[in-house]
Structures are given as C-alpha cells and as structure tokens.
Amino acid sequence: MSSSHIVIRNVRPLDAAPIDIEICDGRIRTLNTADAASGTTHNDAEVLDGEGCILLPGLVDLHTHLREPGREDAETIATGCDAAALGGFTAVHAMANTAPVADTAGVVEQVWRLGQATGRCDVFPVGAVTVGLQGERLAELESMASCAAHVRVFSDDGVCVSDAVLMRRALEYVKVFGGVIAQHAQEPRLTEGAQMNEGALSAELGLPGWPSVAEEAIIARDVLLAEHVDSRLHVCHLSTRGSVEIVRWAKQRGINVTAEVTPHHLILTEDLARSYDPIYKVNPPLRTADDVQAVREGLADGTIDIVATDHAPHPHEAKDCEWSAGAFGMLGLQTALGIVVETMMNHPGASSSRLDWQGIADRMSVIPARIGGVQAEHGRPIAVGEPANLVVVDPQRPWTVDPARLASLSRNTPYTGMTMPVSVRATMLRGHFTVVDGHLS
Amino acid sequence: MRHLLSAADLDHQSAVRLLDRAAQLSVVSDRAVKKLPTLRGRTIANLFFEDSTRTRLSFEAAAKRLSADVITFTAKGSSVSKGESLKDTALTLEAMGAEVIVVRHGASGAAYRLAHSDWISASVVNAGDGTHEHPTQALLDAYTIRAHLRDGLGDLTDLRIVIVGDVLHSRVARSNVLLLSTLGATVTLVAPPTLVPVGVSSWPCAVTYDFDEALADADAVMMLRVQAERMSAAYFPSVHEYSRSYGLTDRRARLLSEHAIVLHPGPMNRGMEISADVADSPRSVVVDQVANGVSVRMAVLYEVFGARAEISPEGISHV
C-alpha cells in the first residue's frame, strides 16, 4: 500500500490552471497554484508529477455487474475492482443479478465486505426490488437499506419490473429511507425472443426485433407512476430517441426522474449485428445512428444525467458462438472514460452535444454519486478537507484496446483494436493510490 | 464463390451462371447412371441442427451425383442448443476432412458465423439459418420458374411473382425476394400485417394485403408454409380466417392466368395455405421443385469446390 502522504504536482483540476495538491490521511490537505508552490518541499511525501494531466473526482459507476457470488468464472469482486480502478473509478454499484440474487441483507453485506477487502474501489451493492428478480413480491428492501451495506439503489436489472402495481409499491416503499428504484425498462411481451433493434436491419438479418417502444412504453409508465406517488425513479441504460424525449418531458413536468446511458450506446450502432458476432449483443440492443445522436444530445443537455457502464463480463464460450446463443452484455469499466471523451469531447457530432471536463466529471462522478446516495464520500469537489477520491487523466496518452490486457476475467469487449484517446495515469481511493502510471499499485 | 450464405451474395451474372450450370448438370439426373466423377475423393459434411429431411436428402443426392464423400451430422435443435456445439461440431467435421460444410441451423446467421469466425477454414453453404435465409431454395425456385416460363434460359425479367404467407418468419421469402429481384422479376408479398416484418419497406418488392388483386397479373404464385406454432401465437385469429384471406383456394386459383404456375417449398398444409385441388393441379410445380433442388445444389457444390481448388472438368464437358 502506498504512503498516506502524497503530493501531485502540476495537475490541472477539471482543466483549470495547474496546481500542486497535497493529500494526507485520506483527505486533501493543501491546494497551491504551481507557481506559489514551487520550491515548497514536502518531506517524506510521495510525489507524482502530473504535468499535462487533468485531475477529476474519482469516477462513480451506478451500474456494474461484478458476477460474484455465483459466476466467479466471469468476474470476481476483486478483478472487477481492479478493472474499475484502472478505469478511473473509486466507487461502483454492483447489480443484484448474482447467484444467489442480492435480495437479502446477508448477500448485500457479503458483497459490500468483499468490496471493502479489495482496497481498490468502494463497492456499493444494489439490492433486488423483488425476491429472486422474479417480479412477484418485494424483497426486504428496508433490511438491505439498514444493514451494513446501507443499500440505497434497488434494481431487478436484467429483468424489468413489468407489473405496474409492484412497480408502484416499490417506488412508494423506498421513500422511507430515501432509496431509488433503477428500472430496466423492457416490456417483456414485446421482447420475447428479441435479439436486436427492430427495423429494416433486423428484417434483413432475420433476427427477432426488439422494438424501441418496448423500452419507451415502460419509461412513460414509470415516470407517470413516480409522479403519482411522488417518488424517485432512475432509468437504467436508455437507448432510444423516444426514451430521451419522454425523460425530457418528464423533467420539464417536474417529475423526479434521473437517467443513464452506457458508453456503448454513445458510440456503437446496430450495424455491427451484420457480423452476427455476439460480441455486439447487448441489452438493451445497439440502436440506430439517429438514436446515438439523440442520447449524446440528451447527455449534453442534462436530460440524461449520467454515464453508467453496464459492465457485463461473460466467459469466452458465451460469446464464441452463434448470435442467438450468445449472452447479452459487454465489458465497460476500463473503456468508459475513453469512449465518453471520444464521443462527447473530441468528436461529439454536433457542438451542442459537446462536454468539457467539468461536464464529464459531473456525469461520471458527481451526479452518479448523488443518485446512488454516496455523495458524502464520492463525487466531491476538489477542495481542502475533502476526501481524496481522485483520478489523474492523461489526455496526451492514447492507448489501444487489447482484450487480453484488460483486468477483467472476461474478454468480451467490443472495442478490440480501437484507440482510446485518454488514459488513466493514477487513481486514488481515500488518499492511497490504487493505480499509478497506468498500473495497479 | 467461396461460400453461399445469402441470396444477396449472388449478382445477376453469377445467379444466371448458377442456373445455367444447374441446367447442364440436370442432364445427369435423367441418365440411368446418375453420377459424375467431378468431386471424387472430396468430402462434404451435412451439418443439420434442425430436422429437415427434404433439404438434407437433396444435398446428399447432389453430393453423391458428383461422387463426393458425404458425412452427415443431424441433431434436433433442443439437444444441441448451446452455441459451443456449433463450433465444436464444425471443428470435428473439418478434422474428418470436410472441405465444404452444408449447414442448417435454427439461429439466424449461423452459417455466416461459421464462415467468418476463425473456427474453421472450410467453405460454408447455408441450407437454412433461422428466420434469415435459404439461398438454395431460392435458386431452385428461380430455376423452376425459369424452366416453366422462360424455356430454361436467361433471367426472369418482367415476370410478376407473388409470394404469400408468413413472410416474417420465412427464410424462403427473404432469399426469394433478393434473388428473384436480382434476376429481374417484380416481386409482390401478400401477408397479414402481423406476418410482415417492420422494415420491409426497404426490401426490393411491393407488399399488399389483397391477395385477389395480386393474383390477376401474376405469372407465378409461391405459397409459404404456415408453421403450427404461429397459429397459436395470435398472429391471426383462426386457421379458417387465415385460409379465407390468404389461402390459395379453388376460387382464387381460377383468378390466375392460364400460364401461371404455383410453387410451394413444402411440406404443404393442404386445406390451410393451399387447397388440395390446387396442390394437385397441372399448374402446381411442387414436384419439379424437388427434382430441380438436386440440380441446383449440384451446381452450388460445384462452384464452391471450384473456388477452393481447380476441379477437373472431367465429366462436365460431355454431359
């Protein structure tokens, strides 16, 4: 473990003028402009030269699949946390669709403790909304909220809470402890056997279609339910123009809704299904170029609040097969920041959908921490006295994705051979480096 | 032609050339000794993950008439539903010396995946993949139409062909729309809106819900089989109503012009999409389709093997 007294020199917080930042005992102790600090010596301090680098609050992922317990062949909490740290994350929310399902205080506490034990990244378990993700009766939400794991986000992710009455009850029930229901919006009957976005391409490829309306109809229903019972809704991985428009309408109406988009829905389109290679198979499916443009605009104007990875590791055999036999999902933790910079900063398509470093920090750290209820420790301002959960990004050091070199146990990245425009120089959790010079420390 | 995965792989010239080759090879089928030495010592694997006795036997007959050795693997969909099996089975067959793999699989894109993954180097012929395509069926349909309406020569320019039934789930329809339009025909699909895919407007064909109207100037009518499971899945209210609106009944058959022919990929649901009398009438060419299937598949195997290594013209030039 690295020392607890660290100085990062010449780093630009959120792209502002360079500073020296001194970290001691897990917190930011001093901030000095680089000029004023020159000549200052910090005895015994470990020094990182941040020349040319950007300093951001440590990234926070609201949507990660760590697979443990149950599928430790695909990922473990430890390997997932390694990938998270290398991707610049200091906190991840671990989805509940494990085996056993995270639907009791016992399971969420285990996940939370295993996360703490890694020392690389805070793991905040997401609790299941319904017992066994079966969509039949509520899990013991209050027990999960009040246990050591302190759960605030509840989701049946992978499965939609499609029963309107159950969804209403869940939205109402979590008001007691300020929780939020994160809905996987997928009308089940409209997507039976569905394999890819429904449209001209699915008709040509003969793959059963996954219509936009299956997502949009659930989002429309849920924002109205949230309004009716005056509760808080979070929409997972929205992927269509229609979904963006519904959320925009709901926010204008004052409904308490937040939404996320994945990096892959910001950059990849359904055309990749032409390869019939299930490395591109994901839920919700990749959509059209028009949808990609819409989610970028939505992310830029704040309709979509955050980027969440939906990091979904799968073993090789689950992707090395025909399309319909392939599993849904792709890796995301180590490539998320690069994709966001590429799509929202370097090549946003339209100037109205461009983000600066502050905008990226908001959408990948500050707001996800707030939605997840972990804003006391994560997504904090870079200021004296604040917890030192930070990431140093080198915008001048591109890298090429090689699945064999990712930290995940699985290799199912759709970005093989693609160049990521920025790299993570260092990640710091509570004043200790988890990553230095691009390597786990 | 290294693989045949989709009717879209064929441009006008290569499609006509395949039909001409099939015509040339069909002469073998009329002889007492139905065999050419062309593919002697070469190995073809039939990899059938779905039950399809007709298509499998047709490929087997085609391979044997060209003197190829045939390895056949059949498995019912449910017992080999895991993807690993497709890869492992293909590896196994290639290890046994198969140079060409004929694959029928319930997953759309399975043939494409076999051809384009780095699993095997064998050539792949698509014998039907899920609800995607069935290109040799389209070739035998085109061959049959050409034989009856174009004296077996050239292409299908200006012919009006109507395809009727469950287009949504039909690999036969997809391949035929592509191939028949490539060959110059005008294709019209007739189906209830529930059985037409969203996005069909980008296909090179027209779509109508009015079967009677479409029949008036049709040169050929192709009826698609309605699968039993569609009948219970609310795509249409009842068999009776479907048959009344989209079945080729005796009354509708009388609307056809004298020269018009009726095709069906089989097996037929008599009394459902086609009446028994129409199925047995002189304008029905269903039996010809089966015979032509062998010739067309001989031509496809010939072309695919030819793309891998020079085939001696022995037995071809003097048939």
Pair of tokens at residue B161: 């062909």
Are A142 and A26 within one domain? Answer: no
Q: From the candidates A189, A271, A276, A316, which should be mutated to test the interface with B, based on the most B CB atoms within 10 A?
A: A276
Q: B83 and A198 in contact by Cβ < 8 A?
A: no
Residue A35, pLDDT score:
61
Q: A205 and B108 in contact by Cβ < 8 A?
A: yes
What is the Cα–Cα distance from B220 to B186, expressed in whole angstroms? 11
| Cα angle: A270, vertex A272, A276; to 5 degrees | 110
**Nearest C-alpha neighbor of B182 from the set B157, B164, B202:** B157
Are A275 and A362 within one domain? Answer: yes
Residue B74, pLDDT score:
86
What is the bridge-based pairing of β-strands A59-64 and A257-261? unpaired
Cβ atoms of A432 and A2 closer than 8 Å: yes
What CATH number is given to the structural domain containing A306? 3.20.20.140
Which helix (H) or strand (E) segment holds residue B43: the answer is: strand B43-48
* Domain assignment of residue A378, yes or no: no
* Domain assignment of residue A380, yes or no: no
Are A51 and A89 within one domain? Answer: no
Q: B108 and A199 in contact by Cβ < 8 A?
A: no
Are A158 and A271 within one domain? Answer: yes
Cβ atoms of B272 and B228 closer than 8 Å: no
Band (B230; pLDDT cuts 50, 70, 90):
confident
**Looking at the complex, does the CB of residue B49 fall below 8 Å from at least one CB of chain A?**
no
pLDDT at B79 over 50: no
Residue B147, pLDDT score:
98
Judged by average pLDDT, the poorest of A397-411, B150-164, B218-232 is: B218-232
- Mark which of A338, A372, A406 sits at the end of a domain: A372
**A305 flagged as catalytic:** no
Residue B34, pLDDT score:
82
Q: B130 and A201 in contact by Cβ < 8 A?
A: no
User: Which domains, ranges and CATH numbers included, belong to chain B?
Assistant: 7-133+291-308 (3.40.50.1370), 135-289 (3.40.50.1370)
Candidates A310, A320, A356, A362; catalytic one: A310
In terms of DSSP H, where are the helices of B117-232?
Answer: 135-149, 171-182, 211-215, 228-231
Least Cα separation, residue B195 to chain A (angstroms) = 11
Are A20 and A91 within one domain? Answer: no
Number of domains in chain A: 2
Q: From the candidates B79, B80, B113, B203, which should be mutated to test the interface with A, based on the most A CB atoms within 10 A?
A: B113
Among the partner-chain residues B107, B171, B201, the one whose CB lies closest to the CB of A324 is: B107
Are A119 and A234 within one domain? Answer: yes
* Domain assignment of residue A160, yes or no: yes
pLDDT at B290 over 50: yes
Which residues of chain A register pLDDT less than 50? 1-2
Cβ atoms of B311 and B39 closer than 8 Å: yes
Least Cα separation, residue B270 to chain A (angstroms) = 27
**Looking at the complex, does the CB of residue B130 fall below 8 Å from at least one CB of chain A?**
yes
- Mark which of A317, A350, A372 sits at the end of a domain: A372
Residue B249, pLDDT score:
96
- Mark which of A372, A397, A414 sits at the end of a domain: A372
**Nearest C-alpha neighbor of A155 from the set A172, A176, A171:** A171
Residues B31-57: what's their mean pLDDT? Answer: 91
Are A9 and A66 within one domain? Answer: no
Among the partner-chain residues A199, A200, A320, the one whose CB lies closest to the CB of B87 is: A320
pLDDT tens per residue, range B179-197: 999 999 999 999 999 999 9
Chain B residues closer than 8 Å to A326 by CB: 83
* Domain assignment of residue A379, yes or no: no
Are A41 and A112 within one domain? Answer: no
Q: How many CB atoms lie within 10 A of CB B219?
A: 21
Band (B66; pLDDT cuts 50, 70, 90):
very high
Q: B87 and A326 in contact by Cβ < 8 A?
A: no
Cβ atoms of B39 and B65 closer than 8 Å: no
Structural domain range at position A130: 58-372
Task: Name the residue with higher pLDDT: B80 or B302.
Answer: B302
What is the Cα–Cα distance from B162 to B261, expressed in whole angstroms? 11
Residues B146-163: what's their mean pLDDT? Answer: 97
* Domain assignment of residue A281, yes or no: yes
Burial class of residue A41 (count of CB atoms within 10 Å of its CB; 0-12, 13-18, 19+): exposed
Residue B319, pLDDT score:
45
Among the partner-chain residues A276, A278, A324, the one whose CB lies closest to the CB of B112 is: A276
Are A64 and A31 within one domain? Answer: no
Residues B41-49: what's their mean pLDDT? Answer: 94
* Domain assignment of residue A377, yes or no: no
Are A153 and A187 within one domain? Answer: yes
What is the Cα–Cα distance from A309 to A399, expressed in whole angstroms? 19
Among the partner-chain residues B83, B200, B202, the one whose CB lies closest to the CB of A322 is: B83
**Looking at the complex, does the CB of residue B116 fall below 8 Å from at least one CB of chain A?**
yes
pLDDT at B318 over 70: no
pLDDT tens per residue, range A246-295: 999 999 999 999 999 999 999 999 999 999 999 999 999 999 999 999 99
Are A296 and A393 within one domain? Answer: no
Chain B residues closer than 8 Å to A203 by CB: 197-200, 202-203
* Domain assignment of residue A301, yes or no: yes
Cβ atoms of B221 and B140 closer than 8 Å: no
* Domain assignment of residue A254, yes or no: yes
Are A143 and A273 within one domain? Answer: yes
What CATH number is given to the structural domain containing A9? 2.30.40.10
Q: How many CB atoms lie within 10 A of CB A5?
A: 16
**Nearest C-alpha neighbor of B265 from the set B294, B290, B229, B295:** B290
